[in-house]
Structure 1
Amino acid sequence: MEIFIKASQFILSLSLLIVLHELGHFIPAKLFKTKVEKFYLFFDYKFSLFKKKVGETVYGIGWIPLGGYVKIAGMIDESMDTEQMKGEPQPWEFRSKPAWQRLIIMLGGVIVNFILGILIYICLMWAYGEKYLPNENVVDGLWVQDQLAESLALKTGDKVISVDGVKINKFNQIPIELINGERFVIERNGEKIEKEVPVNFISMLVDRDRDAGSFILPRYPFVISSISDKSANKNSGLQPKDIIITIGGTPIKYFDEGKDIFAKLKGTKTTIEVKRGEEKKTIEVQVNDEGKLGVGLAQLPLKDLERLGYYSLETKTYSFTEAIPAGLNKSWSTLTGYIKQLKKIFNPSTGAYKGLGGFISIGSIFPAEWSTQAFWNITAFLSIMLGFMNLLPIPALDGGHVVFTLWEMITGKKPGDKFLEYAQLLGFVILLALLIFANGNDVVRLISSWTK
């Protein structure tokens, strides 16, 4: 059921983005009296799931869910229909239109994607606002989870102040900023220290267990989620939801403090004090030879940590006029962050290419339960990502056509049909290779998870 819910959201989001992107080409083409022969959601190699001709245009749904297209007369595009190009140019054909009109037609799709992403973010800010943990409210520093955070030379209790000279205002920004960044500043025991993000940091992140969660978290209290049946403390009186607040008379606030104390008490008995609702209870426990109690740790949501008095969250609400700049800022940070990631992917030394994913990776970012806010937030991100990807100067993408049209406008020389045909083929080869590589990464990761 979880896979079905994720897949349904992915298909719905993808279909919406494809249709609106293609409308971005279709509408200006019609305005400039250019014949549009086909308008398709997904590709229709050999046959269609659905098609209907209305006027001069066939509208349909293909069976290959790798995108969509509009077939514009007099243009070498996804259809690779070169027979049409052998005849004399007709007034209704794309090739007969002025360069500025062709440029607008080709830019229409990415413009729609960017506008859609911005509008969604504006509406999200207006409808839901923002609730987050301010970085300055994490007064006792962060919790280093594993060796990945240690590779950044971080220690529990450090405070990340800035990345690449930009101050961190929201705690949840830290992981993605470190992934995209190169240098960062921490505060440790009142001293500010500048550090470098290892060049291969993303490679280490990709190689890490994908179920391990974030490599940096705010420090958590020692809240018991369960007691193992094999634990010597099964009948000690400990209960789920107990919060350990002292160990052997030593007060603790966070789990990492308790973990360090128990590590020194291996194989011994000690007394702990727990907070249970409004009560406090003292319990004798056995620490095993690994320095553990044999209990599970509950990682509480931020709202529960706020209720317990550990952190103060900030809630921002926006009027519609206030949501406009907030949505624009969110769109810009989404775009610039994605560009930074893309730059690292094209730098082999980072190993970021190993994290490139296809449809499985994209589908997995949708939640296992329907959430209107999450769905539109992810759709906005994908819309901006799709817009930027289509602007890349690869011949089979809109960006490739834009480059050739700009060249014509600057030099006054129009590329020949044969050149455009070969360029389109080259672009398809590049895109196909990227598609195979990205989805191949997904398959390898999937098989790896099954064999663990």
Structure 2
Amino acid sequence: MDILIKLSQFLLSLSLLIVLHELGHFIPAKLFKTRVEKFYLFFDVKFSLFKKKIGDTVYGIGWLPLGGYVKIAGMIDESMDTEQMKQEPQPWEFRSKPAWQRLIIMLGGVTVNFILAFVIYIGMAFYYGDSYIANDSLTSGVWVQSQVLKDAGMQNGDKIVSIDGEPLNRLNEAFSKMITAKKVEVLRNNETITLDLPVNFVDQLLKEKNKSPFIPRVPAIVTAVSDDSPNKEVLKTKDFITGINDQKVEFVDQLPGVLENYKGQKVMATIVRDNQPQTVQLTVTDSASVGIAYAPVLKNEDAEKLGIYKISHQKYGFMESIPVGIQKGKDQLGGYWKQLKMIANPETGAYKGVGGFKAIYDIFPQTWSWEVFWSITALLSIMLGVMNLLPIPALDGGHVMFLLYEMISGKKPSDKFMEYAQTIGFVLLIALLLFANGNDILKAITSR
């Protein structure tokens, strides 16, 4: 059932993005009286799951869910219909239209992608508002999970002040900003310290496979006692461990280090149960364990009760949600562009994190949440828009590049040149597709 929910979200999001992107080409083509021969969701290699001709256009659904397309008459595209290009240009064909009309047709898809993303973010701001951890409410700093952050000098209890000079107001935005950052400022013992992140920070994070490089620091709360624990008759779930012998334990990250000093020994532990402090005797195993599981992350309501951090909720009116949504879209667009530049730099190792369809599928949760669905769809829409603007001949950006050349120079590239360029671009796209999905396969193998 979980797989079906993930798959349903993945296919719905992908289908929505493809159809709207292709509509972005379709509508201006029709407005400029350019014939559209096909409008397809997914690719119809050899056969279609569904097709119906209405007017001059065949509408259909292919069986290969790797994208979609519109086939515009008189245009060299992925269909590579060179026979049509050998005929005399017709007034309804793409090649017969003025360069400015062709430019609008080619930019229509990415324009819709960006508009869609901004509309979704505006709608989410209005409907859901914002929920976030106010960074200044984080009383005890962070618990560092990532070794690369530890190597960079970050310590448990540090409070993140700024990232690349930009003050951090919301803790839940820290990681997305940090992956493209060079410097992080933290507050430690009332002293501001600047940490330099390594150029291959993302590559090292990928190797660690941590879900969260850092999380809010939490007390040592017992969440479960194992059946083979020597302390199963002593400890209960929801107990707070606050001390071992004479050593104070304020946070769960301190517990393993303290227990390391008492391997194979009995210790006196201070615990809090039902808001009452108690002293109990615990047996520490030879592996420095007391046979319990403890909470690395608390429920938000529990964290607020304990004063660890505060969840802020902000609602927006319709007019207020417009600038909020636009800013969210701009932030996501800027962040994704920075990530692309990192991928293009081999020193960062970020290219190893490039994923294909499996990586996109894995983003979706196993439980249905419209808020998460729309958030992911908006981000994917931005990614699709940016990727399609890359100056690769088989993509919209490649066509735009040649059209701009034509408009500036007054010289139109020959059909034969465009055929060659389209072939080269198609080969590049296949190579990128193989690389991205090959990364998915490699990750699946190495994660076993």
Could you tell me the TM-score, scaled by structure 1's length?
Answer: 0.96
Alignment correspondent of 1:156? 156
Alignment correspondent of 1:2? 2
C-alpha separation in 1, matches of 2:226 and 2:187: 38
Alignment correspondent of 2:105? 105
Letter in 1 for 2:136: E
Deviations 1:308-337 (A, max 9, x none): 322122111111111111101110111111
Alignment correspondent of 2:166? 166
Alignment correspondent of 2:238? 241
Alignment correspondent of 2:72? 72
Q: Please, which of 396, 399, 406 is the counterpart of residue 398 of structure 1?
A: 396
The alpha-carbon deviation at position 17 of structure 1 amounts to 0.3
Letter in 1 for 2:159: K
Q: Please, which of 263, 273, 278 is the counterpart of residue 276 of structure 1?
A: 273
Q: Does 1:257 align with 2:261?
A: no
Matched position secondary structure for 1:331: helix
Q: Please, which of 264, 268, 290 is the counterpart of residue 267 of structure 1?
A: 264
Matched position secondary structure for 2:139: coil
Q: Please, which of 315, 327, 330 is the counterpart of residue 329 of structure 1?
A: 327
Matched position secondary structure for 2:271: strand
Matched position secondary structure for 1:156: coil
Q: Please, which of 293, 297, 300 is the counterpart of residue 290 of structure 2?
A: 293
The alpha-carbon deviation at position 280 of structure 1 amounts to 4.0
C-alpha separation in 2, matches of 1:103 and 1:301: 51
Letter in 2 for 1:420: M
Alignment correspondent of 2:147? 147
CA RMSD of aligned residues (A): 1.5
Q: Please, which of 192, 212, 215 is the counterpart of residue 214 of structure 1?
A: 212
The alpha-carbon deviation at position 279 of structure 1 amounts to 4.1
Structure 2 contact 182–197 (Cα < 8 Å) conserved: yes
Structure 2 contact 131–313 (Cα < 8 Å) conserved: yes
The alpha-carbon deviation at position 13 of structure 1 amounts to 0.2
Structure 2 contact 140–308 (Cα < 8 Å) conserved: no
Q: Which runs of 5+ in 2 are unaligned?
A: none
Matched position secondary structure for 1:132: strand
Structure 2 contact 146–208 (Cα < 8 Å) conserved: no
Letter in 2 for 1:170: R
Matched position secondary structure for 1:155: coil
C-alpha separation in 2, matches of 1:276 and 1:110: 58
C-alpha separation in 2, matches of 1:428 and 1:414: 21
Q: How many residues are matched? A: 447
Deviations 1:119-176 (A, max 9, x none): 1111111111111111122232211114132132211111221111111111122222
Letter in 1 for 2:398: G
Alignment correspondent of 1:180? 180
The alpha-carbon deviation at position 249 of structure 1 amounts to 5.5
C-alpha separation in 2, matches of 1:276 and 1:145: 28
Alignment correspondent of 2:199? 199
Structure 2 contact 265–284 (Cα < 8 Å) conserved: yes
Deviations 1:67-99 (A, max 9, x none): 000000000011110111111111100011111
- Where do residues 332-351 of structure 1 align in structure 2 (5 Å cutoff)? 332-351=330-349
